[in-house]
C-alpha cells in the first residue's frame, strides 16, 4: 500500500519578533495574530466571533486589547504581532470596551436562558458572566421578535439569538462549500438567512449541523426530539429499542463532564438501560452489515463493468449534497442504506419476527453524532420494514411506519440522561444486548474519516484474494488530512482509493469524476470534519484537538476488539444464514438498499 501524500522536507526556520505582554517580554513567531501569539504564551483573551478553522469577520469586539501607540483598541483576532509591540490585555479601558460590546449584543437578545438548549453551554452567557454584566445599559431597539426558521427536519434557527458573528456562514461556505446561508440586509436589519428567506428546509442545506456546532449561542440548534422519545418510553404497549452509532461512545462522556474523547461504551449501555430502553443495540452491528453489502457491491461492479469509482453512502449530509449539486454522478454512489437505516430495517423484520413482536409496536430510536440523520430517517424511501410486512400482515397505507422512528443527537441523549438524574461517571460498565449488539473492530472505525474504507478493505481483501490479511491496520487512510489516497493490491488488481471528509473536499473528487479524470476505484466521503466523530450532533465544543482525541479512542476500541473484520461477526453470519441468505440477495435489496433523488440547487 502506498499513500498519495508527499512527506515534507527539512524543517524551516521560523522568523520571530519580540513583543511585550502586560509588561513582560517574549519572542513569538512573526505572522501570528495577537490572539494566537498570546494564547501560546498561556494568556486567555475572551473571544466570541473568532473561530480558528475559518476566516474571522471580527464583528464582536470582545477580543480587544490595548497596544501602546495605537489610537484605538485593536481586535486581537485579526491584528498581527509586529516587532516591539507593547500589548496590555486587561486595562480598565479594555474591560470597559469589552463590556460595552457585549451589552450592545445583549440589548436585543431574548433573555431566555432557562429555556434555551444552550443554557450553561453558551459562549455569550459565559462572556456576560465573565465580564460581570448584571444589567444592560442599552435599550431594546427590535420592536417585535423575528420569526423562527423551523422548516428543517434537523435544525431550528432563532434569529433573535443570533449575534451576527458569521461563524455559521463561514463554516457552511469555507468548510462545507454549500453556501446555504448568508448575511443579508443592512444595519439594524442585518440577519443570517437562507436564499429569499425560504428556510433551511427549502434550500440546498445538507443538514450537516456544522453551523450549530460552531454557533456560540442558541441561534442554531438541533430539532429536539427528546419529548417524543420520553413519551414512547412511557408507553407500556411499545417495545422501544435503541441503537448507538460508533462516534457516540467517544463523544457522550464529554457532554457528561468527562475528558475529551473519553471512551464510555459500557457506561453508555448502562445509562441507556436506566432510561428504560427494552434492548440496547449497536449501530456497529449494522456497520458490519453495511460492509458485507457494500464490499460485495464493489466486487460486483468491478467484475461486471459497473459504474466506478463507487462512492460510500453512509453519510446523509453527503447524500443530500450530491443530490443537490452533482445529480449526474448519483450512479457512482453505492445503493447501500446507511448503518442507521439498515439497523431499523433489520430490527423491524428479522428481529421482530424472531422475538414475536408486532413491528407496529416496535419503536426504534437511534443515537447519532449527526443532525442529518434526523432527515435521513424521515426520507420517504426509508420504510423497508413496512413494505416487507405490508402483504404479510395486510397493512394499509394508514399503517405506514418508518424503519427508524427517532434519531437523537449525542447532545439530546446527554440532556435525557441529565433529566433522568443518571450519575453517568459512577455507572458500572454493561454489555450490549444480543444479537443486534454484536460488532467488530471494523465497525467501530466507521466513526472516523477513513474508517469505512479501512473496514471495507479488510473484508474485500479476504473475500477477493481468499487469503488471510496479515495486518488489518491500513494507516494510509487514517488521519485528519482533507483527502487521503492509497493503492491496494487485490490479487493482481490495483485498487486506487480515496478518502475525503468535509463537503468542500468532496467537491474536488466529484469535479474529477465529472471531468472523467478520476483515477480511483473506490471513494469514501464523510460530510463532517474528522468524520462522524466530528458530526454536527456531537458535544459543543468540537475542535480539531478534540476530534483527534476522539479518533484516538476510536482506534483504541478497534484494537481491543477480539474480532476486527466485519465478515467474521458471528451475529452477521447468523443473520445471513437465517434471513438474508447472501449479500445482495433479493431480501437484502428490499431492506438494505435504496435509491436517490435529483434535487435542484435552490
What residues act catalytically? 294, 297, 314, 334, 373, 376, 381, 532
Interaction between residue 102 and ligand FES (CB under 6 A) = no
Interacting residue with ligand FES among 1, 58, 357, 587 (CB under 6 A): 58
500 binds, among ligand SF4, ligand FES, none (CB under 5 to 8 A by kind): none
Residue with Cβ nearer ligand FES (71 or 468): 71
Which cell numbers hold the place of 135?
444589567
Q: 138, 101 in Cβ contact below 8 A?
A: no
DSSP characters over 233-286: HT-TT-EEEEEE-GGGGGTHHHHTT--TT---HHHHHHHHHHHT-SEEEEHHHH
Taking the mean position of all CA atoms in its chain, how far away is CA 113? Answer: 25
Give least dist CB 106 to ligand SF4, A: 8
Interaction between residue 61 and ligand FES (CB under 6 A) = yes
Give least dist CB 59 to ligand FES, A: 6
Q: 523, 498 in Cβ contact below 8 A?
A: yes
Give least dist CB 101 to ligand FES, A: 8
Interaction between residue 533 and ligand FES (CB under 6 A) = no
Dihedral of the CA atoms 321, 327, 329, 332 (nearest 10)? Answer: 70
Give least dist CB 51 to ligand FES, A: 9
61 binds, among ligand FES, ligand SF4, none (CB under 5 to 8 A by kind): ligand FES
Residue with Cβ nearer ligand SF4 (137 or 581): 137
Interacting residue with ligand FES among 37, 38, 62, 352 (CB under 6 A): 62
Residues 284-313, one symbol each (x = binds ligand FES by CB under 6 A, - = not), give ------------------------------
Interacting residue with ligand FES among 19, 34, 77, 268 (CB under 6 A): 77
For the chain, the 3-state helix, strand and coil shares in percent, each to the nearest 5, are 40, 15, 45
Q: Which of 247, 197, 282, 231 is nearest to 550 (CA)?
A: 247
Which cell numbers hold the place of 504?
468542500
- Residues found near ligand SF4 in the complex (CB under 6 A): 109-110, 112-113, 116, 118-119, 122, 124-125, 155, 161-168, 171-172, 176, 178, 180-181, 192, 205-211, 214-220
Interacting residue with ligand FES among 50, 157, 161, 411 (CB under 6 A): 50
Give least dist CB 171 to ligand FES, A: 15
Give least dist CB 323 to ligand SF4, A: 13
Residues 7-46, one symbol each (x = binds ligand FES by CB under 6 A, - = not), give ----------------------------------------
Interaction between residue 48 and ligand FES (CB under 6 A) = yes
| Strands 483-490 and 191-194, bridge-based pairing | unpaired
Which cell numbers hold the place of 140?
431594546
Q: 230, 173 in Cβ contact below 8 A?
A: no
Residue with Cβ nearer ligand SF4 (117 or 258): 117
Quick one: angle between helices 410-419 and 226-233, nearest 10?
Answer: 50
427 binds, among ligand SF4, ligand FES, none (CB under 5 to 8 A by kind): none
Count how many Cα atoms sit within 13 Å of the Cα of residue 295 in the half-sphere of its side chain.
26
Interaction between residue 47 and ligand FES (CB under 6 A) = yes
The answer for residues whose C-beta is within 8 angstroms of residue 511's C-beta and 6 or more apart is none
Q: 51, 170 in Cβ contact below 8 A?
A: yes
DSSP H or E run through 413: helix 410-419
Number of Cβ within 10 Å of residue 356's Cβ equals 6
Residue with Cβ nearer ligand FES (48 or 422): 48
192 binds, among ligand SF4, ligand FES, none (CB under 5 to 8 A by kind): ligand SF4
Interaction between residue 168 and ligand FES (CB under 6 A) = no
Give least dist CB 340 to ligand SF4, A: 18
163 binds, among ligand SF4, ligand FES, none (CB under 5 to 8 A by kind): ligand SF4
Residue with Cβ nearer ligand SF4 (76 or 176): 176
Give least dist CB 445 to ligand SF4, A: 24
Which cell numbers hold the place of 260?
475529551
563 binds, among ligand SF4, ligand FES, none (CB under 5 to 8 A by kind): none
Residue with Cβ nearer ligand FES (47 or 410): 47
DSSP three-state, residue 538:
coil
Number of Cβ within 10 Å of residue 569's Cβ equals 24
Taking the mean position of all CA atoms in its chain, how far away is CA 118? Answer: 18
DSSP characters over 19-70: EEETTEEEEEETT-BHHHHHHHTT-----SS--TTS-----S-TTEEEETT-
Order of all β-strands in the sheet with 310-311: 2-3, 483-490, 493-501, 522-526, 310-311
Residue with Cβ nearer ligand SF4 (109 or 567): 109
Interaction between residue 75 and ligand FES (CB under 6 A) = yes
CA–CA gap between residue 457 and residue 229 (Å, rounded) = 37
Residue with Cβ nearer ligand FES (101 or 440): 101
162 binds, among ligand SF4, ligand FES, none (CB under 5 to 8 A by kind): ligand SF4
Interaction between residue 49 and ligand FES (CB under 6 A) = yes
47 binds, among ligand SF4, ligand FES, none (CB under 5 to 8 A by kind): ligand FES
CA–CA gap between residue 58 and residue 273 (Å, rounded) = 46
Give least dist CB 136 to ligand FES, A: 19
Which cell numbers hold the place of 354?
424472531
Give least dist CB 146 to ligand SF4, A: 12
Residues within the interface to ligand FES (CB under 6 A): 47-50, 58-63, 75, 77
Amino acid at each position: 500500500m502506498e499513500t498519495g501524500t508527499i512527506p515534507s522536507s527539512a524543517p524551516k526556520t521560523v522568523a520571530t519578533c519580540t513583543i511585550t505582554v502586560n509588561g513582560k517580554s517574549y519572542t513569538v513567531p512573526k505572522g501570528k495574530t495577537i490572539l494566537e501569539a498570546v494564547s501560546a504564551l498561556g494568556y486567555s483573551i475572551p473571544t466570541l466571533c473568532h473561530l480558528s478553522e475559518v476566516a474571522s469577520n471580527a464583528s464582536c469586539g470582545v477580543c480587544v486589547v490595548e497596544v501602546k501607540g495605537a489610537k484605538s483598541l485593536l481586535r486581537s483576532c485579526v491584528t498581527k504581532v509586529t516587532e516591539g509591540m507593547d500589548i496590555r490585555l486587561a486595562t480598565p479601558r479594555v474591560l470597559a470596551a469589552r463590556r460595552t460590546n457585549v451589552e450592545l449584543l445583549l440589548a436585543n437578545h431574548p433573555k431566555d436562558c432557562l429555556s434555551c438548549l444552550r443554557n450553561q453551554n453558551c459562549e455569550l452567557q459565559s462572556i456576560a458572566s465573565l465580564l460581570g454584566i448584571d444589567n444592560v445599559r442599552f435599550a431594546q431597539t427590535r420592536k417585535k421578535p423575528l420569526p423562527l426558521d423551523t422548516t428543517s427536519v434537523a435544525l431550528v434557527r432563532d434569529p433573535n439569538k443570533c449575534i451576527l458573528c458569521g461563524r455559521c456562514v463561514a463554516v457552511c461556505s469555507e468548510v462545507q462549500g454549500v453556501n446555504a446561508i448568508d448575511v443579508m440586509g443592512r444595519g439594524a436589519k442585518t440577519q443570517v438567512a437562507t436564499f429569499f428567506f425560504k428556510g433551511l428546509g427549502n434550500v440546498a442545506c445538507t443538514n450537516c449541523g456544522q453551523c450549530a456546532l460552531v454557533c456560540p449561542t442558541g441561534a442554531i440548534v438541533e430539532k429536539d426530539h427528546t419529548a417524543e422519545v420520553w413519551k414512547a418510553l412511557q408507553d407500556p404497549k411499545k417495545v422501544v429499542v435503541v441503537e448507538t452509532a460508533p462516534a457516540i461512545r467517544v463523544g457522550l462522556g464529554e457532554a457528561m463532564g468527562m475528558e475529551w474523547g473519553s471512551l464510555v461504551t459500557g457506561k453508555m449501555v448502562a445509562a441507556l438501560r436506566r432510561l428504560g430502553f427494552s434492548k440496547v443495540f449497536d449501530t456497529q452491528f449494522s456497520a458490519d452489515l453495511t460492509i458485507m453489502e457494500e464490499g460485495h457491491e464493489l466486487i460486483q461492479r468491478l467484475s461486471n463493468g459497473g459504474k466506478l469509482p463507487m462512492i460510500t453512502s453512509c453519510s446523509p449530509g453527503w447524500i443530500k449534497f450530491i443530490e443537490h449539486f452533482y445529480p449526474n454522478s448519483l450512479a457512482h454512489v453505492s445503493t447501500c442504506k446507511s448503518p442507521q437505516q439498515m439497523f431499523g430495517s433489520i430490527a423491524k423484520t428479522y428481529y421482530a419476527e424472531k422475538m414475536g413482536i408486532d413491528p407496529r409496536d416496535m419503536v426504534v430510536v437511534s443515537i447519532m453524532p449527526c443532525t442529518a440523520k434526523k432527515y435521513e430517517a424521515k426520507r420517504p424511501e426509508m420504510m423497508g420494514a413496512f413494505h416487507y410486512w405490508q402483504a404479510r400482515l395486510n397493512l394499509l397505507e394508514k399503517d405506514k411506519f418508518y424503519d427508524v422512528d427517532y434519531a437523537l443527537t449525542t447532545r439530546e441523549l446527554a440532556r435525557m440522561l441529565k433529566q433522568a438524574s443518571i450519575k453517568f461517571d459512577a455507572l458500572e460498565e454493561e454489555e450490549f444486548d444480543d444479537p443486534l449488539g454484536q460488532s467488530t473492530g471494523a465497525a467501530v472505525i466507521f466513526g472516523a474519516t477513513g474508517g469505512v474504507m479501512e473496514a471495507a478493505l479488510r473484508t474485500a481483501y479476504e473475500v477477493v484474494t481468499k487469503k488471510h490479511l496479515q495486518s488489518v491496520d491500513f494507516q494510509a487512510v487514517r488521519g485528519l488530512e482533507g483527502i487521503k489516497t492509497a493503492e491496494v493490491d487485490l490479487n493482481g488488481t490495483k485498487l486506487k482509493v480515496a478518502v475525503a471528509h468535509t463537503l468542500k473536499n468532496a467537491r474536488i473528487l466529484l469535479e474529477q469524476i465529472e471531468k472523467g479524470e478520476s483515477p480511483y476505484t473506490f471513494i469514501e466521503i464523510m460530510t463532517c470534519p474528522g468524520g462522524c466523530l466530528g458530526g454536527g450532533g456531537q458535544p459543543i465544543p468540537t475542535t480539531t484537538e478534540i476530534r483527534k482525541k476522539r479518533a484516538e479512542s476510536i482506534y483504541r476500541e478497534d484494537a481491543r476488539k477480539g474480532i476486527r473484520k466485519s465478515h467474521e461477526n458471528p451475529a452477521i453470519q447468523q443473520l445471513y444464514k437465517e434471513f438474508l441468505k447472501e449479500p445482495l440477495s433479493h431480501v437484502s435489496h428490499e431492506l438494505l438498499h435504496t435509491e436517490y433523488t435529483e434535487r435542484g440547487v435552490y
